[in-house]
Amino acid sequence: MIDLVYWAATFALGCFVIGLAFAALRLLRGPTAPDRVLALDTMYVNGMLILLVLGLQFGSALYFDIALLIAMFGFVGSVAMAKFLLRGEVIEP
């Protein structure tokens, strides 16, 4: 049963890459600034999913740590940009 998981992971990778392309298109085209921030957040999550499925396919535990770091820093970046859009500055005195 090598092929079942392998081809499912390949299919999921293709779906994530297409989703990444859609999010990048929205990032380039988005009419307002919150649209672009949302598209960047979606790109973070899609990249994290790609790394997780690659780690599952290659059997390496290193990809998990990279995915955890991407999830954390994606959240921090999205919250910082949303705070900037909300208040005009990130860290208020």
Partner 1 sequence: MTATLPLWVSIPVALLLVISGLITLTGSLGLLRLPTFYARIHAPTLGNTLGVFCVLVASILVSSTLEQRVVVHQLVITMLLVITSPVTAMLLMRAAIRRKAKVEEPQDDESPLEPPPAA
Retrieve residue 5's tokens. Answer: 């998981």
Q: Is 54 an interacting residue with respect to partner 1 (CB under 8 A)?
A: no
> Shortest Cβ distance from residue 74 to partner 1 (Å)?
8
Q: Is 66 an interacting residue with respect to partner 1 (CB under 8 A)?
A: no
Among 32, 90, 92, 93, binds partner 1 (CB under 8 A): 32
Round the CA-based radius of gyration of the chain to a whole number and report it: 16
Q: Is 49 an interacting residue with respect to partner 1 (CB under 8 A)?
A: yes
Q: Is 33 an interacting residue with respect to partner 1 (CB under 8 A)?
A: yes
Q: How far apart (Å, rounded) are the C-alpha atoms in residues 43 and 26? A: 10
The answer to whether 31 touches 72, Cβ cutoff 8 Å, is no
